[in-house]
Structures are given as structure tokens and as C-alpha cells.
Amino acid sequence: MGYREGEEPVIDEKMRHPQDRLRLILDGSDIIVWAMNSEGIFSVSEGRGLHQIGQSPGEVVGQSVFELYREDAGALAEVKRCLAGEDFASAQQVADRIWQTTFRFLRDESGQPCGASGVSVDITDRIAAETALQSAHDELEQQVAQRTQELVRANDELRQEIKARKIAEEEQRQLSDRLQAAERLESLGKLAGGVAHDFNNRLVSILGFAEMIAKDATVEKHRQYATRIVRGAERAARLTEQILAFARQGAFQSVILDLHELMGEAQTSLTTAMGADIQISTALNANPSTVRGDPSQLEDVFINLMINAREAMPDGGQLILESETVTVEDDSRIGTLFEDSSQRYIRFTVSDTGRGIDPEIQKRIFDPFFTTKDPSQGTGMGLASVYGTINNHGGQICVESIPGSGAAFIAYLPVCT
């Protein structure tokens, strides 16, 4: 409330004397003010807060604290602590209320101990509010932690979903690439097969007449010419067989045979051709290791793959032959390579530590007549005939390679027992 300059403030009669003002404050606040002498006899006991503990102002004046609170050991211990000369603050529960008391040790004008005083404030509502606030804070923290965990789980699930989607997309892309390659190779096979049949028919005539000339020739030079024609025709016939193998139109035996035996025979037949600088290691673990097919054609598969590996290591290296009996649970690639993924397959691998294969070359590596060699060094039908033979036996073949880190040709054939 304001007043004009020069005017004396109007003071309520009840507020003129300090004792009256103190009384008004004590009567209007939930506090207790007390004092006692060195023997614990109360000299002051005031404040509206006394009603909270069942007392009235001045009621305990002249009484001993040690008698009044003889059954409250905690309260008496704090009184003794203060009377011994220590100032401190503490909280005590009296009835159903919580009081915070500030204890002060008293000395007289000469500095001699003369008792103790204190002010007690009812902090029950404040404690309740703080407890409610802490409870709300804890609940909020718990909700935040729970929500954080949910977000982390959702984020992990999203990452897994994105990863799975990327894997599915990559598998779909690879499947599409293989399908396109298979369709391209099938078209090439039909074309090459038709040409090879016609060419083979003509070779039969050339070979027959050349053999007759060589037999009946009376001039040695003519006989030599005829013999060269026969050899050239025989080489052309072998090339025709490779083309027909790629086109899956050649002669085909169907017997149960052991792939491990065929791999051993191919390895034996190439021992000299491999050279001393090629180290061959095997890990043939397929069980069973039997398939149904043409032993001659399948042996040619191993020979072609081993020769291809040898040529990839002009400075020497390691050639590894491996086999395993697998299902789609062991090798997920089966699910994308075969319509019937429930069957067991023999997975055999011919790998090398050579120069590796460029990704662009990998896309065409099984194409007929495709070669990275000089035309005089190869026809480009070796891997094409491998592809055709494996497909003709109900299998699939693929290549994995990183340039500079070698290559692995991985083939699958259905188990037959």
C-alpha cells in the first residue's frame, strides 16, 4: 500500500509494539518457536503450529523437555545435541506431520551457555508435493525410457526390414540377371546346336572321303595331305561335340557315378599339364557323392575347369577342389538357382589363386566362342560346354571372383543314390 510524500504511515495499533507484531506473525503461521534453559525447562512455546501437535501456546512453559518427551528418544537426542553446543537442522515426524527444526545453542551476555532455542516449520505439504513431483518425474523418466526402447526397437526393426529388402532386391536382381543369361545362352545353344548338326553331317562326309583317299593314295604326298585332312576333321568333330554339349543335344549316358572318382581321374590325367608350380589341394566332403549322368562329359567338366584355373595362374599358385552335400538350409543360393529347393545337391567348387575375373567378363564367361585368349590359343567353347553339361545334368553353375584375388567356379548337381 503506498502513501503520499510527507504523510506519516498509518500503523495499526496491533502492530505498534514488537511483541504484538511477533504475536501476529506467530498466530498466522504454521510454525512453532520454542526456547529452554540449560536444564531443558521450556521458557517459550509459541506459534499456531502447536495446535498441529495437540498443544496450545505457552502450555509447556515451565515444564521439562526430558519429561514431556521421555518416550521420544530421537527428539531428546537432538535436544541434548543442541544443549551440548551444536547448531544444526533436522526433520522429525510428530503425529502425522513432518516438522523441520532449526536448533540454536544460546549464550548469555557474558558468553556462558544458557540454553537452546528453535523454530519448527510444518513441511508436511511440501514433502508431499516434492514426493508427488518426484513420483511424476520418475514416472515420466520411466515413460521416456520405455518410449526410447520402443523407438530403438522400431528403428532396429526398420533397419532389419531395409536390410532384408535390399537383400531381396539384390537376390531379385541376380535372379533376373541369371534368367536373362540363361535365356541368352539357350538361344545361342539352339542356334549353335543347329549349326553343329549340319556341320557334323558334312564332317562325316569329309572324314569318310579323306580316309578313303589316305588309304588308296599311291602318291605319298597325296597320302600326307589326306591324313592332315583327317586330323583336321577330327579336331573339328571334337569342337562340334563341345558345341552340342553346350546346346544339350549330344549323345548322353545316364548312369549312377561317383563325382569324387571322376575328380580324381581328372586330376590324375592333368598331373603333368598342371606343372610343378601349381599346388593342388582337395577337400572332398560330399556324402553321398553320387549323381546320375554321363561320366565322360562330367570328367570333361572337371578337366576344363582345372585347365581354366591353371591358365589363370601363369606364375603358379594353388588350385583347390572341394565338395559338400548341401540343402537350401546350408546354402541359400539353392533357393534362387532351382525351382525344387527341397532336394539335396552336391556342391563342388574349383577355385584358384590367380588373377581373378573382371565383372564384365563374368557376365559372358559361359557364352559360346567367348574367350579372352588369342584366337589361335582357344575356341571359347571350354566353359560353354561346362555350362551346357551341368545344365544337361539338372544342375547349375556360377562364378565368383574379385579381380586380383582368384576365382571360384561353383556347380550344383542333384544327389542320386
% of the chain at pLDDT higher than 90: 28
Sheet holding 345-352, edge to edge: 278-284, 317-326, 345-352, 407-414, 396-401
pLDDT of residue 164: 86
Higher-pLDDT residue of 227, 17? 227
What cell does 162 get?
Answer: 531395409
Please, which residues bridge with residue 320 across strands? 281, 351
pLDDT of residue 409: 95
Give the separation between CA 262 and CA 5, rounded to whole angstroms. Answer: 122
The lowest-confidence range among 65-69, 102-106, 332-336, 408-412 is 332-336
Give the separation between CA 399 and CA 352, rounded to whole angstroms. Answer: 12
DSSP codes of every residue in 249-300: -S----EEEEHHHHHHHHHHHTHHHH-TTEEEEEEE--SS-EEEE-HHHHHH
DSSP 8-state code for residue 64 = B
CATH number for the segment(s) 252-414: 3.30.565.10
pLDDT in tens, 23-54: 666 665 678 899 999 999 999 988 888 888 88
Dmax over CA atoms of the chain, in Å, equals 162
Mean per-residue pLDDT, 324-334:
88
Residue 401 has pLDDT above 60, yes or no: yes
**Secondary structure element (H or E) that encloses residue 89, with its range:** strand 88-94
Give the separation between CA 291 and CA 347, rounded to whole angstroms. Answer: 11
382 in Cβ contact with 239 (< 8 Å) = no
CATH number for the segment(s) 13-122: 3.30.450.20
Residue position matching grid coordinates 599358385? 317
Q: CB-based contacts of 112: which residues, under 8 Å, 6+ apart?
A: none
User: In this structure, are strands 317-326 and 396-401 parallel, antiparallel, or unpaired?
Assistant: unpaired
Give the separation between CA 199 and CA 207, rounded to whole angstroms. Answer: 12
Residue 3 has pLDDT above 50, yes or no: no
Predicted TM-score of the model (pTM): 0.48
Residue 222 has pLDDT above 70, yes or no: yes
**Dihedral of CA 243/249/253/254: which sign?**
positive
Residue position matching grid coordinates 503520499? 4
pLDDT of residue 78: 92
Most confident of 150-154, 167-171, 332-336: 150-154
Write the single-letter amino acid at 269.
Answer: S
79 in Cβ contact with 88 (< 8 Å) = no
Higher-pLDDT residue of 338, 209? 338
Residue 227 banded pLDDT, cuts 50, 70, 90: confident
Give the separation between CA 36 and CA 105, rounded to whole angstroms. Answer: 10
Neighbours of 274 (CB within 10 A): 18
Closest CA to 262 of 241, 291, 287: 291
350 in Cβ contact with 309 (< 8 Å) = yes
Please, which residues bridge with residue 401 across strands? 407
Give the separation between CA 69 and CA 21, rounded to whole angstroms. Answer: 31
User: In this structure, are strands 31-36 and 278-284 parallel, antiparallel, or unpaired?
Assistant: unpaired
For the chain, count helices (H), then strands (E): 11, 12
Q: CB-based contacts of 320: which residues, under 8 Å, 6+ apart?
A: 280, 281, 282, 283, 349, 350, 351, 352
pLDDT of residue 236: 66
DSSP codes of every residue in 6-57: TPPPP--GGGSSHHHHHHHHHHTSSEEEEEE-TT-BEEEEESGGGGGGT--T
Residue 257 banded pLDDT, cuts 50, 70, 90: very high
pLDDT of residue 237: 67
Give the separation between CA 264 and CA 280, rounded to whole angstroms. Answer: 11
Q: Residue ranges per domain, the chain?
A: 13-122, 252-414
CA 33 to chain centroid: 69
pLDDT of residue 383: 85
